[in-house]
Structure 1
Amino acid sequence: MTSFRKLSALSAITLGAALSMTAGLALAGEKVSADQILNALQPKKPLTRGLSAGSQADPAVDARQIQFVDSLRNRKTRSLSLGEREEIAELAASKPKIDLEIQFDYNSADISKASMAAAQELGKALSNASLKGSTFVVAGHTDAVGSEPYNQDLSERRADTIKRFLTEKYGINGADLVTVGYGESKPKDASAPTDPQNRRVQVVNMDTKTASK
């Protein structure tokens, strides 16, 4: 009976891991490689071209989504309205994504030395030719320690730091990186809002067109 219970538990863990991979890869607290990031951000081949991968995709909806994403290019992070931030989150929910635990110096937007390797692996992944032409959202998140206005500002500054790092160190086109800050509003673990795992950078591939090339 004990062996059966262990096997059942193992099966449940395996299934849970498989399900989480379909929604996006989370590698917080682990050493992450460029290949892992690349695999997480690779768009699934759509049945129809455009931003929507549904078999019954509405071309008009696709066009509006593309237009919205294009309107975000070269926008300042702090210029985004709450409505725009929420629309980005809604679109990003169904896109290839990865959560990275990129820590920053205390009360700062500077990448910590301990997290520099993860930032470098992200740069290598986004430089891969297979992702050429994609638009990426770089979203900053904080835990709930501190005031909401402070955390919102901090998340925006940290997202901007990642963008600057990727453009300066890896030559990523700045227009292909849309930065957005969510502060403490979208915790990874809503039951533990002050948990450090909520401090993360989420990278989302907003395009699926690369899969059909």
Structure 2
Amino acid sequence: MTSISRLSGFTAIALGAALSMTAGLAVAGEVVSADQISRALQSKPLTRGLSAGPQQIDTATQAKETKFVDSLRNRNTRSLSLGEREEIAQIASSKPKIDLEIRFDYNSAEISKDSTQAVQELGKALSQPNLKGQTFVVAGHTDAVGTDEYNQGLSERRADTIKRYLVEKYALNGSDLVTVGYGESKPKDANAPMDPANRRVQVVNMETKTAASQ
């Protein structure tokens, strides 16, 4: 990444994006509470049915998704193939997610001190009974400043940092946190690929609950 994007000494990222297909960002500088995160990441029950509807799910598709996500547990972030990364993105597109503003130290994957609280709130949320034990994807994204290779690696390291913090500080099961990096390949704003808004880590609840399981 160039010095143009580093004048502040920090690089901002955002974690994930609102409920279901709706995207949204936390207000800049605002720390989203654990309860707000918990509500956004809460999976909604889906009913079984032969016809496709907003609250219906094909059981064969559900089984396939679950098998795929289970195959990713304990995988090294860098070991994921392009095809696997794309399949994660496709499944995650319809799942609950949330955005949080996180800052990292200059040219680094270390969380800055002024963003520690935001990650702590995430840890508290994922520790709540309604979310603990479910499977979450932590997906890193960057803007388009810098080379593809550098940005890919940076997005992976930052996703890894979030996971490590959650495991070490909140005793979350590492196998429940799947990390993936997308570099600059999936900008939040495709019309402005160098915009800081594209620097984010997306957290997605990959669980699917059917009415029968409630």
CA contact (8 A) 2:25 2:99 kept: yes
Normalising by the residue count of structure 2, what TM-score does the alignment of the two structures yield?
0.83
Q: Would you say how many aligned residue pairs link Structure 1 and Structure 2?
A: 192
Q: Which runs of 5+ in 1 are unaligned?
A: 1-19
Larger relative CO (CA 8 A, sep 6+): 1 or 2? 2
CA contact (8 A) 2:133 2:173 kept: no
Deviation per CA, 1:133-185, whole angstroms, max 9, x where unpaired?
31000011111111110000000000000000000000110000000001111
Question: Compared with structure 1, are the counterparts of its residues 160 and 153 closer, same or farther at alpha carbon in structure 2 (3 Å cutoff)?
Answer: same
Deviation per CA, 1:30-78, whole angstroms, max 9, x where unpaired?
32111111111001121139xx985553222111111000000000000
**Corresponding letter in the other structure for 1:209:** K
CA contact (8 A) 1:47 1:53 kept: no
Distance apart, 1:209 and its partner CA: 2.8
Comparing both structures, which one devotes a greater share of its residues to strand? 2
**Corresponding letter in the other structure for 1:98:** I
> Once superposed, which parts of structure 1, at least 4 consecutive aligned residues long, lie more than 3 Å away?
52-56, 210-213
Q: What is the aligned-residue identity percentage?
A: 69
Distance apart, 1:28 and its partner CA: 5.7
Output aligned runs, 1:1-213, within 5 Å.
23-24=21-22, 25-27=24-26, 29=28, 30-48=30-48, 56-209=56-209, 212-213=213-214
**Corresponding letter in the other structure for 2:21:** A
Distance apart, 1:123 and its partner CA: 0.4
Aligned residue number for residue 10 of structure 1: none
**Corresponding letter in the other structure for 2:25:** A
Distance apart, 1:23 and its partner CA: 2.4
CA contact (8 A) 2:46 2:57 kept: no
Deviation per CA, 1:59-118, whole angstroms, max 9, x where unpaired?
221111110000000000000000000000000000000122211111100001121111
**Corresponding letter in the other structure for 1:23:** M
Question: Compared with structure 1, are the counterparts of its residues 169 and 71 closer, same or farther at alpha carbon in structure 2 (3 Å cutoff)?
Answer: same
